[in-house]
Structure 1
Amino acid sequence: MVNNVSVLGHGNPVIASTAYRQWSRLNTNSRFNFNAVAEFSERLLAKVPKNLDTVFLVNSGTEAVDLALRLSKAFTKREDVLCCEESYHGWSLAADAVSTSTSDNPQAAQSRPAWVHVVDAPNDYRGTHRGEGAGVRYAEDAARLLHQLERDGKPIGTFIAEPRNGNAGAIGTPRGYLNAVYATVRNHGGVCIADEVQVGYGRLGAHFWGFEEHGAEPDIITMAKAMGNGHPLGAVITRREIADALAAQGAFFSSSGGSTLSSRIGLTVLDVIESDKLQANAAAVGQILTDGFTELMNKHDIIGTAHGMGLYQGLEFVRDHVTLEPAAEETRAICARMLQLGIIVLPTGDRQNILKIKPPLCFTAESARFFLRMLDKVLREGW
């Protein structure tokens, strides 16, 4: 239930054949321009808003986020970054600095550099603002912080966020939040990064990218994981004017992510997603999970709520529906019992009380129903 890297599944014969053919011919970095690099870049650009016209191919999600932050800093000439609580963006110095999730880095708050500023996680289930209108209120809080930082001589150059908070449990961004924050950041001279490393590439089913759910349009998009089906591949997509701002700092190239091999694999992943209708599968099978979780919520009090959509979902366990006390110990025990029944599922989120549900996009309706039956069995019989 937990693999958004091997998006096409393990041992995919089409990917294996592509890799074999390209390894048998040539594999070199993006200092040299080959058809595969250009073709893959064009295919990616066809998936994003038209004003985004420049692609950087990289090795990983961490490298994509690191490069995106560097691009934004070069363009705005501002160091300060705004990010959200309970978020994860990577392990390099810069990507880790804007990662606030204590489940990934228990020292996140203490090790945070002065140029990183944090707003509340826009969680309308258990956060500062809940229910109807929560997104607007969270956006107003972010606007107040942006105004204050500008008055303090620390104007924000970059806002980075996942359109859905992945590691927090696939928690959706409340309606009205993303567009409002994007607008405020831009009004203050900053740029906005949509981190699609986990939630993008068709995983949400109804949308290829998470930002599409909100009708929002970022200035920079980061992506990885699903792109290579386990092969090291990521990308940053932005506008030419932002890319040009980095040119004075040196010529960019990528040894692995921008190679002929990676580009061919990347093209093949997109081909298989389209030919096997895997985005549509994510929507259909994801709906089976969503409906199943609704049924389980009516039967088991330990389930507080279900987050997510498509094949990125999270099931949150609580001890009390009023206080929302996290059932972290129970979640770990449920995962251990599920493993005995043949299902790999893990806790996620800073409270470790949410089941992380992000299987490969080839996940079947049969597998979804088996997972739901086994989860019902565990919740009925105990763990």
Structure 2
Amino acid sequence: MVCQRIDNALEQDAFTARFNDTSVMMQARHQFSTPSDNWCQVHFADSEIKVLRASKQYIYDDLGNEFLDCVSSSAHVGHCHPHVVAAGHAQMLKLWTTQGFLNDTYSQYMKKLMDILPESLSVVYLVNSGSEATDLALRLGRLYTKRHDVAVFESSYHGNISSLVDISSKSFKRLPQGKKDFVHVIPLPRTRNNIENDQAEFCNEAQKVIQKASQNGTPVGVFISEIVVAAAGVVIPPPNYFKTVYQMVRSQGGICIADEVQTGLGRLGGDFWAFQGYGVVPDILAFGKSQGNGFPMAAVVTTREIADSLPEYMSTYGGNPLACAIGKAVLEVIINEKLMYSAKMVGKFLLEGLRGLMSKHPTIGDVRGMGLCIGMEVVCGRPDMKPATNFANRVLYL
């Protein structure tokens, strides 16, 4: 169905409005939100939907129209999953926000979380959002290494807190001050032709960046990256890339952070974590978004040695019983319903379907991804591959 909708959209010369009048709500949105509200700009500026309810992979408007939801990436096990809803409801009837005391829900969730993590990652901080998680991960890395400098990928995005805007090249390149001196940008390891040749080239590029920082007297303390770089358009690095780059960073005293806010908990199919597919274990792991199936929760997991570098940490809501009950239910659904296998097989089918459209539509420059993390590149035509930004925005509103 997704491939058919995209096929139809690419053949249209113009898009027509198909949604009911939501002028009052739109007026309020424009009155109370800012021009930089990218979420509204990207997803809802041209095709407003007044969402009334949601179930599984669908959302429904106030007229009863059903839409396949390809936007809400946090609804990891489906909207309003009955097991998750029941777990949250039962916990709300007993205890919600109090944290810091002993409670069984926290202990039970920690046990389930530890079961899906590498043994070395043994200390967990529960927080409220992906941005909060990556900010804490960055703080831990800097405290442990006693270094301020950070290496990131080109076109990276790690959150909207000031500390993360500074290290997110997708964000700081739009700011007047641009890149700060303590940030070192590594070219994206996007495979083009020959995987082995590309891998050697990308590793050399990363090594140049890391060595230059050391030679300038500002060695990299933290390398933070997505493993599959979703923020840059679903870029999949070559198989041995992270083994090599992690070793480079660690050999000169730095540590490696994996940002799995968008790719963790089985979204890529087959494994719980993207880093498992690359045969590496990060020093610090940050994840969220899908963790609470829409309920605000996230986590940072690290080694005991790194955790001991943080004098104290307190989060009013992080790890509260309601969050733990919901997080535990989400893990149970992923495991009991074999959703990682489903993501792998459905993703394979979708990937093949979208790639099948490439021969018909020269405006599709590339289709890439793993599991249910898939990107389609919309271009003016092949082989020039010039981005067709306006057309891509129109395709979003299928």
| TM-score normalised by L of structure 1 | 0.82
How big is the shift at 1:132? 4.1
Paired with 2:98 and 2:309, the residues of 1 have a C-alpha distance of: 23
Q: How does 1:1-383 map to 2 (within 5 A)?
A: 1-102=70-171, 107-108=174-175, 110-125=177-192, 132-247=196-311, 250=312, 252-336=313-397, 338=398
Aligned to 1:369: none
Paired with 1:222 and 1:256, the residues of 2 have a C-alpha distance of: 17
How big is the shift at 1:108? 4.9
Cα 1:307–1:109 change in 2 (3 A) is: farther
How big is the shift at 1:333? 2.4
How big is the shift at 1:29? 4.5
How big is the shift at 1:112? 3.1
Paired with 1:283 and 1:186, the residues of 2 have a C-alpha distance of: 32
- Percent sequence identity is 38
Paired with 2:357 and 2:383, the residues of 1 have a C-alpha distance of: 19
* Residue-by-residue CA offset, 1:183-209 (whole Å, 9 max, x unaligned): 000001000000000011100012221
* Residue-by-residue CA offset, 1:308-327 (whole Å, 9 max, x unaligned): 11111001122232322112
* Residue-by-residue CA offset, 1:238-276 (whole Å, 9 max, x unaligned): 0000000112xx2x2322231011011100000011111
Name the larger-Rg structure.
2
Whichever residue aligns with residue 304 of structure 1, its letter is G
Q: How many residue pairs get matched?
A: 329
* Residue-by-residue CA offset, 1:26-49 (whole Å, 9 max, x unaligned): 123442232222222222222122
CA contact (8 A) 2:364 2:381 kept: no
Unaligned runs of 5+ in 2: 1-69
Which protein, 1 or 2, shows the higher relative CO under an 8 Å CA cutoff with sep ≥ 6? Answer: 1
Whichever residue aligns with residue 182 of structure 1, its letter is Y
Aligned residue for 2:300, secondary structure, equals strand
* Residue-by-residue CA offset, 1:136-171 (whole Å, 9 max, x unaligned): 211211112211211211011100000011122222
CA contact (8 A) 2:268 2:371 kept: yes
Paired with 2:342 and 2:274, the residues of 1 have a C-alpha distance of: 17
Deviates more, 1:4-13 or 1:238-247: 4-13
* Residue-by-residue CA offset, 1:82-135 (whole Å, 9 max, x unaligned): 001111110111122111115xx662583433222211122224xxx9754212
Cα 1:135–1:110 change in 2 (3 A) is: farther
Whichever residue aligns with residue 293 of structure 1, its letter is L
Whichever residue aligns with residue 171 of structure 1, its letter is V
Cα 1:82–1:130 change in 2 (3 A) is: farther
Cα 1:61–1:299 change in 2 (3 A) is: same
Aligned residue for 1:297, secondary structure, equals coil
CA contact (8 A) 1:123 1:130 kept: no
Whichever residue aligns with residue 97 of structure 2, its letter is T
Paired with 2:238 and 2:315, the residues of 1 have a C-alpha distance of: 36
Whichever residue aligns with residue 75 of structure 1, its letter is Y
Aligned residue for 2:133, secondary structure, equals helix
Cα 1:106–1:72 change in 2 (3 A) is: closer
Whichever residue aligns with residue 285 of structure 1, its letter is V
Cα 1:261–1:89 change in 2 (3 A) is: same
